[in-house]
Amino acid sequence: MSTVELTRFRVPEARADALLAARPAMLRDFSSDRAGFLGARLVRLSAEEWLDIVFWRAHEDFAESRRRGADRPGIQAFFALIAEVVSSEEGTTEGEL
């Protein structure tokens, strides 16, 4: 069982390419600097709405990452492109694919 972060957000369609270009650096920052980061999937829901699904080893790892916020350049660049956070939820996995 792991913790799952679900963040739904909006990005103007004109910034979609920039968002996708910023994603690898954000993931590198998370991988190298966030204890318990297991991986992430980005889902495009519509022209301007996205869902980021981030997997954490435990709730405490997710909570610490949230506390730190965008404290690395790659994370800052990705977050700066987000116009609005629609929702943010936390859950747990209950099995594997």
Nearest to 65 by CA among 29, 41, 92, 93: 29
Taking only the tens place, the pLDDT of each residue in 25-83 is 999 999 999 999 999 999 999 999 999 999 999 999 999 999 999 999 999 999 999 99
Measured CA to CA, the distance from residue 50 to residue 9 in angstroms comes to: 5
- Mind listing the pLDDT tens digit for each residue in 68-86? 999 999 999 999 999 999 9
Give the pTM: 0.94
CA nearest to 78, candidates 21, 39, 38, 35:
21
